[in-house]
Chains A and B, each alone.
Chain A
Amino acid sequence: MSDPHVPEPVLEVSGLSVEYVLDRGVARAVDDVSFTVGRGEFLGIVGESGCGKSTLLFAVAQLLAPPARVEAGSVRFKGTSLVGLTDKQLAATRWRDLSVVMQSAMNALNPVKSIGAQFKDALRAHGVRRSDEIAARSAEVLRMVGIDPAHLRSYPHQLSGGMRQRAMIAMAMLFTPELVIMDEPTSALDVVAQRSLMVQIKELQEAYRFAVIFVTHDMSLISHFSDRLMVMYAGQVSEIGATRTVFDAPRHPYTQGLLDAFPSIRGAKVPLKGIPGSPPNLAMIPNGCRFHPRCPVAFDRCSVEAPDLYQQDGSLVRCLLYDDAASGSSSPAPTGGRADA
């Protein structure tokens, strides 16, 4: 999807669909998702469990393994399609131009190797051989994230949770890539550590001008750091737009429900309702709009007709409330972009 708002796209995802092939049939975890990320842009992807955000991330980073597979669509990084490349071809791009930060450092870091050894592995894998270069760069990235380079000798279990996550980010920065993909890197941390890590990420981003895709379930956290926000529900994009717009004037009833579900520590105390019911079983998706069984403002068309993404004041919203095609005042957004095998 060529979004005219986004200058110099670094990543273009177009019509991406990911399926899980299971004994009882096929479950579509990601359905026809399109978005673009511009140079230096911070895109937040928000959604609850089962919305497909992690699957989407893995698909973009080409980390899917059977029974998951890309069923349709394309992922283009700086013009080159990533889907269909071999591991060897991908290896050139990985880490140099595109790196990934996982949810739990303890799962991603090798517990029996020191941090320095792991940085060395990554550096050597991409052609940096001289030990003085390796040492210098390793120390430099640790300082970038606020860790004393003496910790190059430490093992992951010797660092606290917050420090481990920072080490992960340092590792992702080894080649100052153009795009860093982060899968809930703060969810295992406490609120103070979370805040501190987010500020660190934002500072790094502003200093080195890389783009970030940040997947999280914590909408209130991301709201202060992202430029644009994409809300996912049941495998689809339900709303995407500038962060402040999405927060101050949420269009999709799901986004409104989500925002209403956050109690506030300041201001008046009001009774909240949350969103009744639960997200649909991906193998048995409701007809029409996927959110309609839980939507407080659903009307009769919603159970029959699946909405497209409609333009509304610079945001895209997947809701029939904004389909004024009949009256001609709004139109479905073009989901074009050339398809690639």
Chain B
Amino acid sequence: MAATTLTVPASHVPVNSAARRIWRAVRRNRKATAGAVLLLLFCFLALFPGLIAHDSPTAEIYGRSMGVSSAHLLGTTAYGQDLFAQVVWGTRQVMIIAFGAGLAATAIAAIIGVTAAYVGGATDGVLNLITDVLLVIPLFPLLIVIAAYVQNSGTLVLITVLTLTGWSYTARQLRSQALSVRHRDFLEAAKVRGERAVYIVCVEILPTMTSLLVAAFLTNALYAVLFASSLQFIGLGDPNATSWGTMLYWAQNNEALQTGQYLWAVAPGVCIAALGAAFALLNYAFDEIGNPALRPVRKIRSKRVRPARS
């Protein structure tokens, strides 16, 4: 017989505020803390790039393909641009895409997923069909087709395209979660007192799913970073923009790896991986919130069992 966990006495249920729960989970889990630190670093770079990199990222005024030096921390590109400045200034566009597409995709996923679960019936069937179709279609080829068709490759278009293709995965997760709370009495109570379905979905259900919504956002942001960079890499982004993906594009065009200009490809690549890792690591904290069984069990200092009190 496996050991079973007992419910902890109700008085010990942790503080209800979602923000506080999230903060505690992040602090407690080492992986999540690392992710949070990384993310904050990138946010800082995106907000205040000028503080870190003093050179202009686009000016082609330096010597070409120079190596690492104190003037150019990562060297220069084949066009004479400072690599370090490009990496730092490129953060901004990537973060905008990550947060923009991440938030938008999560919002759509939440509305569709929860509505499907709550309303049920034919609506659920139709929404599920749409979700499943999008899930089954291989995303990257779809993205390529759409991006190539649209021709205009600005940031907003990228965000839109990523959002429209990316919401379906987390919609499924949110729908499952909403299904499990659908029969809670407080929802039936809301219905019986006369609330409308829209109110119930937005005010009564969604706030109880905060942790899952944040986790969905992290998943969608990660997806956005990776796919945006990939699209830019194959040339479907705006080649004149300052972004990690476009750096990879130009590096590839100039055969950077073959000609020994390693940093030109490696530096943006590492950044993409690091930002993606930041989102993924943070997600560990949310796994724990959702499923307390995954929480690390504190090692209880083994004590000799005391004799009974006489």
Contacts and interface: CB of A to CB of B under 8 A. Distances in A.
A54 B306 contact: no
Interface centre among B12, B298, B303, B308 (most CB of A within 10 A): B308
B4 A65 contact: yes
A29 B9 contact: yes
B8 A340 contact: no
A94 B307 contact: no
Interface in A284-341: 284, 335-337, 339-341
Given A27-B9, A340-B305, A58 B4 contact: yes
Contacts of A68: 6
A67 B306 CA distance: 18
Contact of B8 (A67, A72, A83): A67
Contact of A283 (B5, B12, B14, B307): B12
Given A67-B298, A72-B308, A335-B309, A281 B6 contact: no
A336 B307 CA distance: 10
B1 interface: yes
Interface in A157-196: none
Interface string B208-228: 000000000000000000000
A73 B307 CA distance: 6
A68 B5 CA distance: 8
Nearest to B301: A21
Interface majority SS (helix, strand, loop, mixed), chain B: loop
A24 B12 CA distance: 8
Contact of A282 (B3, B9, B14, B309): B9
B1 A15 contact: no
Interface residues of B, number: 22
B305 A70 contact: yes
Nearest to B308: A15
A272 interface: no
Interface string B289-310: 0000000011010011111111
B305 A71 contact: yes
Interface residues of A, number: 42
A84 interface: yes
Given A21-B298, A63-B1, A337 B12 contact: no
Nearest to A16: B308
B11 interface: yes
Given A55-B6, A283-B12, A94 B308 contact: no
Interface in A52-76: 54-55, 58, 63-74
B230 to A, nearest CB: 42
A197 interface: no
Contacts of A67: 8, 297-298, 300
A152 interface: no
Given A22-B12, A283-B11, A100 B1 contact: yes
A65 B3 contact: yes
A257 interface: no
Contact of A335 (B6, B298, B308): B308
A178 B225 CA distance: 64
B65 to A, nearest CB: 56
Contacts of B5: 65
Contact of B307 (A24, A66, A281, A339): A339
Nearest to B7: A54
Given A21-B298, A23-B14, 7 more contacts: A14-B308, A27-B9, A58-B6, A63-B1, A67-B298, A67-B300, A283-B9
20 contacts: A34-B308, A50-B9, A63-B3, A64-B6, A65-B5, A66-B297, A67-B297, A67-B300, A69-B300, A70-B305, A72-B305, A72-B306, A72-B307, A72-B309, A73-B308, A100-B1, A336-B308, A339-B305, A339-B307, A340-B305
